[in-house]
Amino acid sequence: MAKIKFGMMMTDASGKLGGQVFSKNRGGSYVRTKVTPLNPRTTAQSNVRGIFAAISSDWSSISESDRASFNGFVNDYARTDVFGDLRNPSGKALFQRLNQNLAISEQASITVCPPPIAVPFSNTRSAVGDASNTEFNVTTDGDTDGSQIVVWATPRLSQGTTFVKNKLRQLKVAQGEPSAIIDIWDSYTAKFGAPQVGDNIFVGVRVINAQGQASPLEVVKAVINA
């Protein structure tokens, strides 16, 4: 991995170019050789890919007026990219984004784009496991009534690992409410095995409303007690 320092002609870079990948961390910007990881093709991955492929093909089956509704709202659903610039999605990308969020949160799909509304935060306070009572409770106190709460978690990680975004796997979907205690023990154990005292585990929580908008991912470090 080589570090880089940008000058007047180029001030920042991110993503792939040829066989190189530009990125940054706390030490600054760097470039590394692109590596294609092995694809394990797990059942969960295959299911997700199938859902995403179906949603992509659904775009061509909706009416022209329905497609126009998504094209008409692209400015309202703009996102900030890695450089801090505001970017509009295409109408198709917006259709896919909202319906993918609805699919993973077990909600009905939409064919007409609604105007965006504020999405509540889960205000995730803690993720505490109790090995003796076989409980693993994620506690939130945000008013998420009318939305769905999606919970992700990591497997047991080596001590000191803190960058976990790419290690989170979806575990459970729960109905939103003004405050919630979501027990993920069974879901976690089925996917990763029973958590043990002292395990380095992180939990992520996201709220998705009925029109497919999602809150930012909130990540907390879990505590596993005896």
Instruction: Supply the pLDDT for residue 29.
Output: 67
3-state secondary structure of 55: helix
User: Going residue by residue through the chain (226 aa), what tens digit of pLDDT does each one get?
Assistant: 555 566 655 566 666 666 677 776 655 666 777 665 566 666 667 777 788 788 988 999 999 999 999 999 999 999 988 778 889 999 999 999 999 999 999 999 999 999 999 999 999 999 999 999 999 999 999 999 999 999 999 999 999 999 999 999 999 999 999 999 999 999 999 999 999 999 999 999 999 999 999 999 999 999 999 8
Give the position of tokens 């109790």.
130
Strand order in the sheet with 2-3: 2-3, 28-33, 20-25, 15-17
Give the position of tokens 């992180």.
202
Pairing of strands 223-225, 124-130: parallel
Q: Which of 59, 36, 39, 62 is nearest to 49 (CA)?
A: 39
3-state secondary structure of 39: coil
- Three-point CA angle 78, 80, 13, nearest 5°: 135
* Cα distances (angstroms) measured from residue 151 to each of 78, 96, 118, 169, 220: 25, 21, 20, 8, 11
Single-letter amino acid, residue 185: W
Global pTM? 0.80
Instruction: Supply the pLDDT for residue 212.
Output: 98
Fold observed for domain 124-225: Coagulation Factor XIII; Chain A, domain 1 (2.70.50)
Q: Which of 98, 76, 100, 78 is nearest to 88 (CA)?
A: 78
Domain with CATH 2.70.50.50 in the chain: 124-225
For the chain, strand residue ranges (E) read 2-3, 15-17, 20-25, 28-33, 79-80, 86-87, 124-130, 135-140, 148-153, 169-175, 180-183, 202-208, 218-221, 223-225
* Cα distances (angstroms) measured from residue 88 to each of 40, 82, 92: 33, 14, 11
